């Protein structure tokens, strides 16, 4: 039984394929097209999934799309009617697209598929599970549990913006929904917009900015009060009501009414190129804390409704790893598992799994207390021949080290010497996080490493924090955390014994001054609030990366490395060896390791680049 799952036409298009209920492959379209958050039909991702499964499109039994377009259109029409005459410009601009394309989604999907390969429409069923059911299925079915509460939170699907479900056996029951226009995801995105970041991609930047806020300041207290009194009413069950007179996302072309927000908060909306001030940091912290409070209330409601000891999460808000850390620490549930591709890309996987378990009424796979995501290493991998081809194409210079112990020892030594290494191994990750297969690595002990990687390699804002990869067996040595966290989705406090004293008045220091203060013996992965976004590494799904960390520990006594995604600002994570080499040469990365090949920057031929993004980048 072969099922193909697809998400498309909004952002982060993706495809996933199941064979007899087992996840064989999943990937985002952006990795192949090199268009970040690509929303187009995932043609290349579908081709990859079919190839990885070893099947032709004609052999696929069912194709599942991740939401219901007609329900979404219903919500659109009812919303425009409810808010009329407001939103006329938006209505006029959006209706032709819906009438021409989205109302004929079946036809469009079939046309796109026919461009990939022949298949018999009469034999291949096209299914449309609801958006939040796709999210719920992506969280519950691959999780380690046979029974669980399911919490999904995002911007909006068709009507639902959050849902509480109960997974029992192979069935999912929807117990409660919050509906548009009231949405925690859209509230968070509204603040993302107001603070000068791009909606649907900059939310994690705002989350990274929040720790620089000062929770003891008068400004922070004022922002908290303003949000609660004017924008967001929080109910005891975690549902919220948003005063739509301040928001413009329902029918407009922007998230909020700028002037009303500027009067409300006493600051202007930040433009992308403008300096980040303490006011911006305090506002980011205020909405982050509000988000954490709402997530905890929703989780408490899920506990009360289901009585389960397990909780699984999906939807874009489930990528808020700070809120996830607070949720785990609260102890509402004994066990919490988060889908690593929690956003819309994961909807492709969830749609396929909903088709398998709900539509086809198939039982759960025996999991033996492990999830079935295979470390989220579900994307393509490339052979030695593919690397050789890149070496020949670019006249690159590389040393092949076929002895794994020697390769890992050489790489670990290079990192101890203060170098930044592009680490490219095995199958590409599915989801937004690089987990040691498409990663940029550095020494977490190095006091200069955070700014070096941000400004000279990633070409992004200097405040952006980096995640630590830590040996799973050592996580309690460095963090207030005693569970596996393989998907880099939980922020927890660093251990007291590695913390360092900070100067008096530290909380009120300007951003750049805070960045210069060493907060722990691992300064480059310690956030300004003494936390870290943890990835634990075991030897099961990532043996080579585990060996690298172990070797680094044997050399330094520390089993922790900086791990950030292998890309630069504005581009997706690298997919192919050619992507990796081009990224390596366009940055100030020192070394690149692709499979068994080590590339040293100083040995490479001169790089003539036509790229203009680096010159246009301005440091905040």
pLDDT in tens, 279-335: 999 999 999 999 999 999 999 999 999 999 999 999 999 999 999 999 999 999 999
Contact 246, 260 (CB under 8 A): yes
* Bridge partners, residue 594, by sequence: 424, 597
Q: What is the pLDDT of residue 272?
A: 87
Between CA 471 and CA 477, with CA 476 as vertex, the angle to 5 degrees is 80
Q: What pLDDT digit, counting tens, does each position of 200-241 carry?
A: 888 999 999 999 999 999 999 999 999 999 999 999 999 999
The residue ranking higher by pLDDT, 549 or 102, is: 549
User: What's the whole-model pTM score?
Assistant: 0.94
Q: What is the pLDDT of residue 611?
A: 55
Distance CA 213, CA 195 (A): 13
Contact 276, 197 (CB under 8 A): no
% of the chain with per-residue pLDDT over 70: 98
> Where do the domains of the chain lie?
1-141+341-369, 143-338, 384-605
Q: What pLDDT digit, counting tens, does each position of 414-431 carry?
A: 999 999 999 999 999 999
CA end-to-end span of the chain, whole Å? 52
Examine domains 1-141+341-369 and 143-338 and report if their fold is the same.
yes
Instruction: Domain 384-605: give its CATH superfamily.
Output: Carbamoyltransferase, C-terminal domain (3.90.870.20)
pLDDT at 70 > cutoff 70:
yes
374 Ramachandran zone, left/alpha/beta (phi>0; psi -120 to 50): left
Q: For domain 1-141+341-369, which CATH number applies: 3.40.50.1970, 3.90.550.10, 3.30.420.40, 3.40.50.620?
A: 3.30.420.40
Contact 43, 370 (CB under 8 A): no
> Which fold is adopted by the domain 143-338?
Nucleotidyltransferase; domain 5 (3.30.420)
Distance CA 108, CA 345 (A): 19
Q: What is the pLDDT of residue 610?
A: 52
Bridge-based pairing state of the strands 232-234 and 171-179: unpaired
Q: What is the pLDDT of residue 512?
A: 74
Q: Which residues contact 293 (CB under 8 A, 6 or more apart)?
A: 234
pLDDT at 97 > cutoff 80:
no
Distance CA 154, CA 12 (A): 14
Q: What is the pLDDT of residue 608?
A: 78
Between CA 434 and CA 441, with CA 436 as vertex, the angle to 5 degrees is 90
């Amino acid at each position: 039984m072969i099922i193909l799952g697809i998400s498309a036409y909004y952002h982060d298009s993706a495809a996933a394929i199941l064979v007899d209920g087992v996840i064989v492959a999943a990937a985002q379209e952006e990795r192949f097209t090199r268009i970040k958050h690509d929303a187009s039909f995932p043609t290349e991702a579908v081709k990859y999934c079919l190839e990885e499964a070893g099947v032709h499109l004609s052999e696929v039994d069912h194709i599942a799309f991740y939401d219901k377009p007609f329900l979404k259109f219903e919500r659109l029409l009812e919303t425009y009617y409810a808010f009329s005459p407001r939103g006329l410009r938006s209505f006029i601009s959006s209706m032709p697209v819906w009438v021409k394309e989205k109302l004929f989604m079946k036809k469009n999907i079939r046309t796109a598929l026919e461009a990939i390969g022949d298949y018999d429409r009469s034999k291949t069923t096209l299914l449309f599970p609801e958006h939040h059911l796709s999210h719920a299925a992506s969280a519950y079915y691959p999780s380690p549990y046979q029974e669980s509460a399911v919490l999904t939170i995002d911007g909006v699907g068709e009507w639902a913006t959050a849902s509480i479900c109960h997974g029992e056996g192979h069935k999912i029951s929807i117990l409660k929904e919050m509906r548009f226009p009231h949405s925690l995801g859209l509230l968070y995105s509204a603040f993302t917009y107001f603070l000068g970041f791009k909606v649907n991609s900059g939310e994690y930047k705002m989350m990274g900015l929040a720790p620089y806020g000062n929770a003891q300041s008068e400004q922070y207290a004022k922002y908290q009060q303003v949000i609660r009194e004017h924008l967001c009413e929080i109910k005891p069950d975690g549902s919220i009501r948003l005063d739509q007179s301040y928001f413009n996302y329902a029918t407009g072309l922007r998230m909020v009414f700028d002037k009303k927000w500027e009067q409300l908060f006493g600051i202007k909306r930040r433009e992308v190129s403008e300096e980040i001030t303490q006011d911006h940091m305090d506002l980011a912290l205020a909405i982050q804390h509000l988000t954490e409070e709402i997530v905890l209330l929703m989780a408490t409601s899920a506990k009360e409704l289901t009585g389960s000891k397990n909780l699984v999460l999906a939807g874009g808000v489930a990528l808020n790893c700070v809120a996830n850390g607070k949720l785990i620490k609260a102890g509402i549930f004994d066990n919490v598992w988060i889908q690593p591709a929690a956003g819309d890309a994961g909807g492709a996987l969830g749609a396929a799994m909903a088709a398998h378990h709900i539509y086809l009424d198939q039982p759960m796979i025996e999991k033996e207390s492990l999830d079935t995501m295979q470390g989220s290493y579900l994307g393509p991998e490339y052979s030695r021949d593919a690397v050789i081809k890149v070496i020949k194409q670019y006249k690159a210079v590389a040393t092949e080290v076929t002895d794994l112990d020697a390769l890992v020892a050489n790489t670990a030594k290079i990192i101890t010497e203060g170098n930044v290494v592009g680490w490219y191994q095995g199958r590409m990750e599915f989801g937004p996080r690089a987990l040691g297969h498409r990663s940029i690595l550095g020494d977490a002990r190095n006091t200069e490493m955070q700014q070096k990687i941000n400004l000279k390699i990633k070409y992004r804002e200097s405040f952006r924090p980096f995640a630590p990869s830590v040996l799973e067996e050592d996580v309690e040595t460095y963090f207030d955390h005693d569970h596996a966290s393989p998907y880099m989705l939980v922020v927890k406090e660093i251990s007291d014994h590695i913390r360092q004293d900070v100067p008096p008045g530290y909380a009120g220091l300007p951003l750049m001054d805070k960045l210069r203060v060493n907060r722990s013996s691992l300064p480059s992965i310690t956030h300004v609030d003494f936390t870290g976004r943890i990835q634990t590494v075991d030897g099961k799904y990532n043996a080579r990366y585990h060996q690298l960390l172990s070797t680094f520990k044997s050399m330094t006594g520390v089993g922790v490395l900086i791990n950030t995604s292998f890309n630069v600002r504005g581009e997706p994570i690298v997919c192919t060896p050619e992507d990796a080499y081009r990224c390596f040469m366009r940055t100030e990365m020192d070394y690149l390791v692709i499979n068994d090949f080590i590339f040293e920057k100083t040995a490479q031929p001169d790089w003539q680049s036509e790229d203009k993004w680096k010159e246009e980048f301005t440091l905040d």
